Every structure is written in structure tokens, then in C-alpha cells.
A and B are shown apart, each in its own frame.
Chain A
Amino acid sequence: MTEAILSMSEAVKEMTDYIARELVRRPGVEITPETPLVSSGLIDSFALVEIFVKLEKLTNRRIPAAKIQPKDMETVGLMFATAERIGKPRQ
């Protein structure tokens, strides 16, 4: 149980670092799991796609893209919850 929680925390940390380092349009902004990303304009549609691809890798899940809306990717926390809800483990 503890190992699973740490893995999720590490995945969330890796995602927030990735977004801050590679994608955010305003350098120096702190990204937390609760930071609104889409509605605040911190990331654009292209970055959303890159986040989606990263999310699949970090969660090792296949997420049906047509089932996703930008509001499901509004925060890092919501992203992982969405992946858990609709993603299927990769074979």
C-alpha cells in the first residue's frame, strides 16, 4: 500500500516537474497538483496533447483520448484521477 502511494506521488511529482520544465508558457511559475493549467492559460492545446502522452507513460495505462475533455486535464490531480477512472492497464 505504501509503495503504491509513493509511486503515485512520484508520478505526480514527475508530471508537475515536466510541465514546469517543458511546457509552461510563463517560466518560473510554480506548478502544484492543484494549479489550474488550462483555464489559466498556462498551457495550450499542443501542450495538452504532450501531457496526455506523458500521462499514459507514467500511469502505464491506455486512455481513450476521445473520452477526455480539457477540463479533465485542468490540474495534475484531475489528470491522474481521470486516468484512474477511464484508463485501461496496458498489456
Chain B
Amino acid sequence: MFRQLHVALRTGIVTEPAPRDADVERLGGRLARERRRVFGRSLAIRHVDAGSCNACELEIAALTGPHYDLERFGLHIVASPRHADCLLVTGPVTRNMAEALLRTWEATPHPKLVIAVGDCARDGGIFRGSYAIVGGVGDIVPVDAVVPGCPPSPVAILAGILDVIGRLR
């Protein structure tokens, strides 16, 4: 039990430095200044899996680890959309998840952001045109930014989120 403490103290901080630029498509007309004012120092993120293959989820999960550490920017993952400011949506929106995604968005209090992560979330990705999906996330809920990639790296996702809230230097 105490050996863990010993290891923790010996290993030290392994967090990598913050990303510098982002490859993100910004949509939506919300003013960057307003976003920075409200969410600049604290953003609660709720992840929604709208039918993804889970590759994006693995990358997002890495964000909570010590190497990418999204908490140092004031971002944290929450369980309930009522607590959330930002919905991080992955996956092409399958027919079964369309209603659920919409309800999640409705359950989130204003002001809110939606960031679509991955090519599937942007427009269906490699599943584009399939009978089982509705389309990109933008077809169900209004999207503020899209982080392209299949899957995008954790740094790219982090940079995308930071860019949306105006924290990217």
C-alpha cells in the first residue's frame, strides 16, 4: 500500500507541455469572447458515444491520464449532462442513438458547446451513406467545432477543446 506512494513520489510529474496549435474546424456563430468569458477557466465535459467504434474513446480516455492531463486547464469530465457545459460527441450518429443524443443535448443547460470528435462525427466518416446512420453530429444537434481524424490524437482533441474555449496560446 505504501509502496504505491513511494513509486508516485519517485516518478514525479509526467505531464507533457500544453499543445500550441489546433487543427479544428470551428462552426457556429457564437462569439469567441463570450465563450472565453464563460468557459475560459472551467469547462465540464460530458462525452456522448453516438455509435462510435471506440477508437476515439480510447484517445479521449488518454486525456484524463497523467501524460495529457486535461484537468490542468480546468477541464473535467462529468457523468451527467446536467452538470456539463460541453458535449464531446464521437461516432457517426446511428439511428438508435439519434434520439438519445438529442435528449442529452436538451438535458444540458445553456450555454453549452458541442464538439464533434473524429471523422465519423463530422459527416459519418467511413460509414458515410450507411443505412444504419443518420449522418454527422451536426445533423442532430448544433455543433460548435469538429476535430477531424480517425481517430484524432489526444493532443489534437485537447488542442481542439482549448481552441474552442479560447485557451490556446
A and B bound?
Answer: no
